[in-house]
């Protein structure tokens, strides 16, 4: 498990020099509050998108064609086309990630015929929870963005401001992409997430002094309510909890009978797999699933267990799909030790195969280990740890590894929002 340091006195003495004039702090706070959403989107890539009329198979192909974890889904009303502007009235109605497809294939009615399930309309994957994706203007304030996130929005859809020179460079960079960004209403759009806002606030962390130096326990932001599954329980029994964690942007803890944290099954880790992990979820225990998704390549013995149990349940179609797609990935990993990582010039694709790339993405081979801290950890230390591991939460444990609770970006944002309100 990853742990974070409990003390950083030297670090904080640099962050918060006592000689900082009060008037300078006021000026810096005013400057922070003056930032617009567009300022947080500088350099962000434009969204790849699907039409709401696409199929689940189209969504699967789109996700495999991009390194993004999700694709946006748009509904364009052609009847409201502006003939003068030449644009359509298009709205982003949601987003799709690999986990949505995996959970859909795990449904009882789709187990016997996964190929047929892929022909279903993509709308079956869209979350029933309203407000997870919200459109905002580029001129919206930082506070408005934070308020929408705290109201439950996962992604804010922001129009990218036009810049002729910038756009030409952007188009040149995207020419080689197998999936080009889409223009809606004459504009390109990008996502703004909790992580983006937290990274932005970290750059001005000294303005919130002394709050970032306080422990998460003292701030009261540790939630004792969290999602969990027993180590020996069926992985399929955790699908409901995993679906909820996808909405909450958290994870499901895997614990033993004593309540000790063994690991986690997170939507983040599952998103790095391909659709065949649905077979593993259907047949394995939670503990075996941890080993299956760990470090990007399932052990051969666990692959054989999945195949045998699919045969026992007469799931021939899922078995055929699983065997074809898993055989190449197990061959790749059979000659590598657990400690070895792919070459820096080759990355692991979602299907378990190496693809050509100029850089190595650690996200694609993230282990199923839980990232943890202690109740006495400072807010800024936990914040940095979460950002470094590209997650929206950190597990809080005691010295004996029993779970105290979970701290999330959402609860951290509430603390920063309250401080920003006092600045006004």
- The predicted-structure confidence for 293-346, as pLDDT tens digits, reads as follows 886 578 889 999 999 999 999 998 888 877 766 555 444 333 333 433 333 333
DSSP code, position 159 = E
Q: Is the pLDDT of residue 22 over 50?
A: yes
Least confidently predicted of 268-277, 351-360, 365-374, 408-417: 351-360
Q: What is the mean pLDDT of residues 49-77?
A: 90
DSSP code, position 394 = E
Return the top range by mean pLDDT from 6-10, 113-117, 180-184, 352-356. Answer: 113-117
Coil, strand or helix at 69:
coil
Least confidently predicted of 132-141, 342-351, 402-411: 342-351
pLDDT of residue 288: 94
Q: What is the mean pLDDT of residues 106-110?
A: 94
C-alpha–C-alpha distance, residues 6 and 224, integer Å = 20
C-alpha–C-alpha distance, residues 279 and 106, integer Å = 8
**Over pLDDT 90: what percentage of the chain?**
56
What six digits make up the tokens of 176?
């080689």
pLDDT of residue 88: 58
- The predicted-structure confidence for 406-416, as pLDDT tens digits, reads as follows 999 999 999 99
Residues composing the chain: 424
Q: Is the pLDDT of residue 400 over 60?
A: yes
User: What does R_g of the chain's alpha carbons equal in angstroms?
Assistant: 23
Query: In which order are the strands placed within the sheet that holds 155-159?
Result: 133-135, 155-159, 189-193
3-state helix, strand, coil in the chain (%, to 5): 45, 20, 35
pLDDT of residue 224: 96
Bridging pattern class, strands 354-356 and 346-348: antiparallel
What six digits make up the tokens of 381?
């230390």
* Band of residue 353 on the pLDDT scale cut at 50, 70, 90: very low
C-alpha–C-alpha distance, residues 169 and 162, integer Å = 12
Q: What is the mean pLDDT of residues 31-38?
A: 85
pLDDT of residue 408: 97
Q: Is the pLDDT of residue 64 over 80?
A: yes
Q: Is 62 left (phi over 0), alpha (psi -120 to 50) or beta?
A: alpha
pLDDT of residue 98: 94
Burial of 14 (0-12, 13-18, 19+ CB in 10 A): exposed
Q: What is the mean pLDDT of residues 19-45?
A: 76
Place of tokens 């052609």: 78
Coil, strand or helix at 274:
coil
**Over pLDDT 70: what percentage of the chain?**
74
Least confidently predicted of 61-70, 305-314, 340-349, 385-394: 340-349
Place of tokens 């299907």: 351
pLDDT of residue 196: 95
- The predicted-structure confidence for 179-219, as pLDDT tens digits, reads as follows 456 677 678 999 999 999 999 999 989 889 899 999 999 99
DSSP string, 11-60: HHHHHS-TT--HHHHHHHHHHHHT-BHHHHTTTPPPPPEEETT-BHHHHH
What distance separates the 2 farthest-apart alpha carbons in the chain?
Answer: 73
C-alpha–C-alpha distance, residues 30 and 27, integer Å = 5
Q: CA 313, 315, 321 angle in degrees (round to 5)? A: 140
Q: Is the pLDDT of residue 13 over 50?
A: no
The rounded mean pLDDT for the chain is 80
DSSP string, 365-392: G--SPPBEE-TTSBHHHHHHHHHHTT-S
| N- to C-terminal Cα separation, the chain | 40
243 within 8 A of 235, measured Cβ to Cβ: no
Q: Is the pLDDT of residue 73 over 90?
A: yes
Return the higher-pLDDT residue of 120 and 351: 120
């Amino acid at each position: 498990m990853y742990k974070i340091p409990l003390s950083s006195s030297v670090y904080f003495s640099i962050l918060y020099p006592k000689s900082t004039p009060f008037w300078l702090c006021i000026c810096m706070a005013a400057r922070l509050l003056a930032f617009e959403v567009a300022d947080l989107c500088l350099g962000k890539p434009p969204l790849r998108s699907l039409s709401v009329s696409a199929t689940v198979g189209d969504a699967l192909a789109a996700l495999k064609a991009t390194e993004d974890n999700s694709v946006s889904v748009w509904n364009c009303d052609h009847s409201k086309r502006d003939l003068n502007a030449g644009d359509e009235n298009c709205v982003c109605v949601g987003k799709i990630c690999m986990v949505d497809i995996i959970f859909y294939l795990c449904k009882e009615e789709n187990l016997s015929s996964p190929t047929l399930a892929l022909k279903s309309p993509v709308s079956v994957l869209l979350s029933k929870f309203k407000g997870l994706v919200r459109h905002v203007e580029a001129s919206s304030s930082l506070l408005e963005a934070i308020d929408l996130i705290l109201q439950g929005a996962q992604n804010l859809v922001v129009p990218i401001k036009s810049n002729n020179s910038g756009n030409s460079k952007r188009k040149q960079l995207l020419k080689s992409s197998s999936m080009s960004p889409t223009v809606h209403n004459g504009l390109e759009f990008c996502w703004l997430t909790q992580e983006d806002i937290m990274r932005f606030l970290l750059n001005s962390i000294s303005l919130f002094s002394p709050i970032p130096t306080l422990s998460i326990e003292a701030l009261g932001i540790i939630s004792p309510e969290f999602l969990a599954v027993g180590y020996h329980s069926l992985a399929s029994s955790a699908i409901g909890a995993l679906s909820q964690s996808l909405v909450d942007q958290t994870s499901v803890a895997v614990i033993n009978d004593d309540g000790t944290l063994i690991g986690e099954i997170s939507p983040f880790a599952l998103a790095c797999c391909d659709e065949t992990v649905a077979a593993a979820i259907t047949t394995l225990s939670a503990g075996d699933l941890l080993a299956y998704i760990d470090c990007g390549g399932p052990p051969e013995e666990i692959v054989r267990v999945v195949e045998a149990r699919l045969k026992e349940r007469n799931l021939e179609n899922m078995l055929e799909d699983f065997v074809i797609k898993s055989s190449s990935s197990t061959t790749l990993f059979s000659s590598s030790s657990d400690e070895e990582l792919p070459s820096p010039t080759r990355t692991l694709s979602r299907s378990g195969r190496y693809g050509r790339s100029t850089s190595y993405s650690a996200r694609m081979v993230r282990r199923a280990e839980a990232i943890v801290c202690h109740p006495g950890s400072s807010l800024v230390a936990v914040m940095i740890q979460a950002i470094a591991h590209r997650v929206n939460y950190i597990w809080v444990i005691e010295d004996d590894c029993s779970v105290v609770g979970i701290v999330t970006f959402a609860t951290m944002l509430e603390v920063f929002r309250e401080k920003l309100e006092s600045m006004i």
